[in-house]
Each structure stands twice: as C-alpha cells, then as structure tokens.
Structure 1
Amino acid sequence: MPDIKLIQCQDALVAGPSKTITSKTEKQWNVRVSPSVNRSRNPIRETLASITANTPSSSKAPINLGLGDPTYYPLHSPPPAAIAAVEKAVLDGKSNGYLNGVGSSEARQAVVDYHMRWDQVQYSIDDVVLTHGVGQGLDLIFSVMIPPASVERSNILLPRPGFAQYTALLANLDAEVRYYDCLEENDWEVDVDMLNSLCDEETRAILINNPSNPCGSNYSREALQGILEIAEKHKIPIIADEIYGHMTWSSPFVPLASLSTSVPIITLSGLSKRFLVPGWRFGWICLHDPLGVASSLKKGIQCWGNRFMGPNSLIQAALPTILATEPEWYDQVLSKIEVLAKIVHKGVSDAPGLSATFPSGAMYSFVKIEEGAFPALQDDVAFATALYNEQAVFVLPGMCFGMPGYFRVVLGTPADVMLDVIERLQEFCQKHGDL
C-alpha cells in the first residue's frame, strides 16, 4: 500500500524524508456580498421592525398605521367581479402556462383600454409592459435607463419627501441621486425652480410621484405643466409613478401623459392600491412618446421585460374584467378614505404640537411635529417609538421619506379605529407637550 502522506504532500517527495513536512495554508471560505446590499436596505421595513421590536407598555390594542397596505384591516373588499374573474381563471385551467415576457396581448390591451377610459391617453399594446407590481416596474426602468459609470456618468432626480424604495432600487446602479423639494406651503407641490437648477446634460430622468406617497398631495394641472416645461427645456424624460392615480377626492387627478405633447412619459401603475390587492403583485409600464424620440427606450423596456416570464398568468387572464370595474365601486372606496382624511386632519389640528395640510390624494396624511413642541423627544423616530410604546399606535417617522420632523399616517382603517387613534394621539401630545 503506498504511503498516503507522500502521495498527498508533493513537498515531502521533493525534499526527502530528512526534511520537516509543513502543511500548506488552508484556504478559507470567503463568501461576500456586494456593497450595494447595505445601500439597498428598505428603511420602512427596518424602522417598523426597530420600533415594534418590544411589546408596548400600553394595554391598548395595537394599531398599525405604518404600512400602506389597504388590506390590513381591511379598508374595503376588492371588486367582486375581480375575485370572480380570478376564480374563473383558476378553475378553467387555461391560464397555467408561460406567457410572453412583456405580457399577453389580451392583458396589455386591457391596460390600453383602461388608460383610454380613465386618462384619455391612447397607447398601443407595444407601449405596454406588464410587471410584478410597480416596484419591479421601477427596477426595470432604472436598469434600462441608467448606464454603468464606466460608460457614462448619469444622475436622476427624485422627490423629497419621497418613497424610500426609489433610493433602495437605485443603490446597485451608478447614477447620482439628486433630490428636489416638494413644498408643504404649496400643498406639497414641486419646487420647479429647484427642479430646473438640478437638471444638466447627465440627467437621465425626472421621477414624479402623483398622487404622492407620503404627502397625500394631488398636483394641479398648472403644477404638472410647470414640470413638463422644465423637462421640455432640458429634453429629459419623466418617470410618472401614478400607482395612486385617480385616488383623489378634493379635485380630479390629472395624468401627466395626458398633458405632454413632446416629453416622453413613462407611466407606472397597477392593481395594488386602487384595486386594494397589493399582494397580487401586478403592475405595468406605459410609454407615451408623442414625438417618437424614445424608440430605444421602448425597445429596452421590452427587452428587459423578457428577462422574466411576465407577472402572474392567472391575474393576466382576469385583467380585462378587473380593469373594467365600474366607477361606483371606486367611489365607495374614495368616500371612506376621504372620511379618514377629515378625521385625521381635524384631530391633528386639535393636537398640541402637530400640524398637517389636508391630504387630497393617495391614502396618507403627512404630519409635522412642530420644532421644540416635545422637549423630551429629540426627533421623529423618538416620537414614533414613544407613541408606540405608550399608546400602541405605530406611525412611520419622516426620516423614512427623507424628511425628518414629520410622520406618516396611513388612511386605511375603519373610521372608528381612526377615531381611537386620534384620541390616543392627542393624549400623547398633551402628556409630552411643552405647555
């Protein structure tokens, strides 16, 4: 039998038996992740976990106003016809296979019909790509539009305050993120002078979120036209996150694409919010390109869409029925959100140390913590943490949206639950206020 040590150790064979045998340094595991992982953290989820890690000292029932999930309580049942259409797709067994990566022709045509019906914007099915919710739609758009820094420097303009997922999705790309302000004194509409000053030759896109998360604002036609003028001047396309489109009550929603006669508009929408089914993870991208200057972008979106096999085939089959939901159902939902908006606005107005503009869209109220009003609570995170501990009410601090000194309230509970929230909030403010 051969000497196993001599066979395994080549050094020993060369050196001979009189030499000391030394083992080679053993190779260690070196499993690493990209640095972009840390930059991609979602502050909303992390803040929720941090604040709710401990059980509240209060004996009151916990009320979660942190996540924008209209099914949590729930606010309202989804459209009955939508449920029936999904059930039919499951039972008939004809919608279980792969589809075109950008979506089936029938589902994309349903999106075309929906936007013509509600927005008066004409798309062809080639302008539409279906996605796994607006989140994946944003990821697709960012990936297509932003080049590696080794090829070309670029920047993208985002709103402040704004949805945290934008920054998280951009973290693994090479674009510089520039923030333009939305002004509370102007009902959270865009500071167009600042927007104009941030644009340059390296700006790849301006992102607009209307109606707004977290502000609950609904931009006027004049405000949107001002944004379009800036985009036209600098020849920059606009990404329009309109997932809350038509979820307004004080004034009608104006789709950005309906106003543009030159600027390419990439509109993102979906079922999550307006149809109250966020877990279905179904969204879409529509490209409005009046002058035909964004053909490469259109091809890129279609190419990227085919990296996956499209969103859920069952929902695609049911989509024509879902998107044909009658206006009366939407009216019922909006009337409930408007009631909640009024409850919160009055309650906040009567609470010492707090203020808020009246929300007119989406499903949020963004509340300001007056500076110095609560001496023992150093910032919005401390405020939210103490509110949860003492009153078992969870709200998201403004820092999650790039706006410290505020907190966001989700308008998604039954009215009696929100009245309870206001009572607890006012009690909390009276206790901690600098009276």
Structure 2
Amino acid sequence: MKHKFIAKRYWKDQQTAMGKSDEMAKTFDDVINLSLGDPDLITDDIIIDGAFADAKAGHTKYTDFRGDSELRTEICRFYQEEYGMEVRDEEVFVCASASLGMYLSLEAIVDDGDEVILQAPFFTPYPQQVELARGIPVELATYEDEDFQINIERLESLITERTKALVINSPSNPTGNCLNMETMEQLAEIAVKHDLLVISDDIYTAFNYQNPFVPFASLPGMRERTIILNSFSKNFTMTGWRVGNIIAPDYIIKTIQQVNENVVFTTPSISQRAAIHALRHRHEIQPAMVSEYRRRMFYAAERVNGIRGLSVLYPPKGSFYLFVNIKETGLSSAAAAEKILQDAHVLTLPGPAFGACGEGYVRIACTVGVDLLCEAFDRIEKVQW
C-alpha cells in the first residue's frame, strides 16, 4: 500500500497468490481448500513426544549458531546413509525453514544487479526473494510438452555476464515433475561451462513415485558449486515447526551464519530437537505417509483426466501437487480458478502465480484425504465450462 511511512519499494501490492488463498478459503462455508501445500496430517507422535521430552529436559535455550550439533551430525549421517554422499559438519547450517534458507543463501551470494535464473514454474516466493537480495530474477520456462524438463538451449540463451546462479526444484512445486538424470547431467555441464552456482531446492525428496531421488550435488564436480536447501516441513509433515537446513561449501555457510545472526540468531531449539527425532526414526515415520500421498496423487490424477476440459501428466512423478491443464476450457488460469471456486466451492491456485509459463494451468495440492478429494472432483465434474 502507498503510505509515507511504508518503504516505496512496497507501495505496489506484492501479495502472493498463496497469501490471498487464506482470504479466498473463507468465500463459502463448504470450501474444499486444495490451494496450499500444508498437509492435513499432523506430525508423528514419535517426533512430538521426543521434542517435548527434550524441552522438559532443558533444550529451550539458544543452540550453536549453525544449529544443534546433534542435528548437524544426523544430517551428515542421513546423506551418507541415503545417498552415499559425504557431508562435513562445517558444510551444514540449520535454518528456520527452507524459505528462510533460500533468502539467506541468496543474500550470501548475490551482488547488487546479479541475475538468478529460476526454473519455472517455480515456488511463488522465489522472485521476491531474489529481489530482497538485490538481485534480478530471470524466468526459465519449462513446458508440459517437454515433460517440464529444462531445455538446455533455452537456459544458455538466458545466461549473461551477470548470471550468478540457477535455482532448480525437483520434485517440483507446482508441477510435481522430476528432473531426469540426462537433464541434471546437462545442467552440471552448463554450471561448469559458465561458472554458475546451483541452488537445489530439495524439499520433496521423500515423494518420488517413479525413480529414487538423486541429489544434484552428488553429480561429479557439483559439490563445490551447489547449495542444497532442505526442510522437514513436507518430508515429515512439520510445516509449523519451521526448521530446515542448508548444505553448501563451508565459506558460503560461514557467510550465511553471519547473515542469520542478524535475522533470527538461531533456529528454535525445540524444533531442532524435533528434527533430530524425525531423522532418527524416518524409516518408521515416512513409509505410511508417503504411501498415503501416493494414493491421493494417483487418485486425483485419474479423476482429473476423466473430467472434460482438464488433463494432467500421468502417472504422477513426485511431490503432492498436480499442475492441471485447463486450456481446453478456453478460460484463462485466473478465470478457471475463479469458476471452480464459485461453481464448485473448491479452491485452487492459478498457474501464473508460479511464473508466466504457468498460464493455462491451475495447481491442486493433494493435502486432503481421498474422501474429500472425491467430493472436490465430483463438484468440479459438474462445472459447465
């Protein structure tokens, strides 16, 4: 809003589609909210009970500035056990969410006017996060008819002398797609050729329905030029705990620590203890959760593809989002999302919220059970396009 006491850079409304969704969800009393990636499941009792026992035992103070040493050890052990990837303690930083981790990483590496290329469709905060770090976001479009893979020629056409980094996200929010090995190997070659950093937003690593997750940083030569962002929000249904981690070369981690000391000082100690229990008990906690989301995704994709005017890539590859093609309806993304809300009382997000190449799509988050998904698609099926 425009006001003399508001910084002029915020005079233009920059509210995101996600930010508006909370208001939209109150439009009708019976809205089925498929707009946000906040799971209906709650954090497993193993994590909650362990964290609260630790709190009662005294873990209520500041932790080490890079994070609880036990948690850093568990993160290193996780990467070794799951991916055979050696991570040193000094390469790990625990942050109050991966969203904050993205800002901290950008603030640490971006000089004024540096360009950061964003794999699009992208997580909606990316562009503003780049701008907060005084950089320039550059959209790298990917398309459904290319399996949402990054086109290397298109990428190279966007690289300039000011390009500092490339942000990738696989499995993807919002498309649910995954970068294949061929694409990642080509990206690695481009990173070396143009001396780029790659920020790999690895938020949905547990949700791969076709092929096992492979960290981009594990590719030859990529450890020294990759910043990994991870989070416990989705992999362990811990959105409200606000805890994530960054893995990067130690000199970047030192800079991130300096920035963070002026932002939140340290990540909440109780949330860090919860993260320790999550990693230690992941084999007990994750299988049933991932199986449930897989069931929802495959059900939702089948229903979408059975509704006139709508379609989605099938079978689903990852995350718990469907990027639904609505082009056959003849409506814009915003109009289609509004019609679905008004006529079916189902809340989705219009595709352009995730970048210009998202026009022609709406995003659905499969964060409710199959029974509620069934009700949502029964309603959408009756919409007259």
Same fold (TM over 0.5): yes
State the match for 1:36 in structure 2: 9
Name structure 2 gaps, 5 residues minimum: none
Out of 399, 413, 416, which is 2:371 matched to? Answer: 416
Once residues 304 and 40 of structure 1 are traced to their aligned partners in structure 2, the CA distance between those partners, rounded to angstroms, is 27
The equivalent residue for 1:113 is 77
| Residues 1:327 and 2:283 are matched in the alignment | yes
The amino acid that maps onto 2:52 is E
Residue identity in the other structure for 2:334: V
> What secondary structure is seen at the aligned counterpart in 1 of 2:53?
helix
Amino acid at match of 2:343: E
Checking the alignment, whether the CA contact within 8 Å between 2:25 and 2:33 is kept in structure 1 is no
Instruction: Give the residue type in structure 1 aligned to 2:43.
Output: P
Matched, 1:343 2:299: yes
Alpha-carbon distance in 1 for matches of 2:256, 2:19: 31
State the SS of the aligned residue for 1:407: strand
Residue by residue over 1:304-338, the C-alpha shift from the partner in whole angstroms, topping out at 9 and shown as x without a partner, is 23333211111223433221124243221121111
1:116-152: CA deviation from partner (whole Å, max 9, x where unpaired): 222322111111111110111011011111123xxxx
SS at match of 2:118: strand
Q: TM-score, normalised by structure 2?
A: 0.92
Deviations 1:272-313 (A, max 9, x none): 0000010000011001x5xxxxx6434312322333321111
User: RMSD in angstroms over aligned alpha carbons?
Assistant: 2.0
1:398 aligns with 2:355: no
**Structure having the higher Rg:** 1
Q: Determine which of 319, 331, 334 is the counterpart of 1:362.
A: 319
Q: Percent identity?
A: 25
Q: Aligned to 1:171, what secondary structure does the other structure show?
A: helix
Q: Output the CA distance in 2 between the equivalents of 1:84 and 1:50.
A: 33
Q: Matched residue pairs, number? A: 378
Tell me if structure 2 keeps the 8 A contact 1:363–1:411. Answer: yes
- Kept after mapping to 1: 8 A contact 2:130/2:136: no
Residue in 2 that maps onto 1:65? 34
In the TM superposition, residue 220 of structure 1 has moved relative to its aligned partner by 1.6
Residue 99 of structure 1, CA deviation: 2.1
Cα contact 1:363–1:412 (8 A) shared by 2: yes
Alignment of 1:162-201 (within 5 A): 162-201=122-161
Partner of residue 79, structure 1: 44
Paired residue for 1:272, among 211, 233, 239? 233
Question: Deviation per CA, 1:197-221, whole angstroms, max 9, x where unpaired?
Answer: 2122211111001110000012222
Aligned residue for 1:315? 271
1:281 is matched with 242
The structural deviation recorded for 1:350 is 1.3
In terms of mean alpha carbon deviation, does 316-325 or 336-345 score higher? 316-325
1:318–1:367 CA distance, 2 compared to 1 (3 A):
closer
Q: AA paired with 1:407?
A: V
> Which amino acid is 1:343 matched to?
Y
**1:140-159 equivalent positions in 2, closer than 5 A:** 140-148=104-112, 153-159=113-119
Question: Does residue 1:206 correspond to 2:166, yes or no?
Answer: yes
Q: Deviations over 1:86-109 (max 9, x none)?
A: 1211222x1121222221222211
- Choose the corresponding residue for 1:228, options 173, 183, 188: 188
Distance in 2, Cα, partners of 1:268 & 1:326: 19
Higher mean C-alpha deviation, range 34-43 or range 338-347: 34-43
Taking structure 1 as the reference length, what is the TM-score of the superposition?
0.82
| CA–CA distance in structure 1, aligned partners of residues 45 and 229 of structure 2 | 25
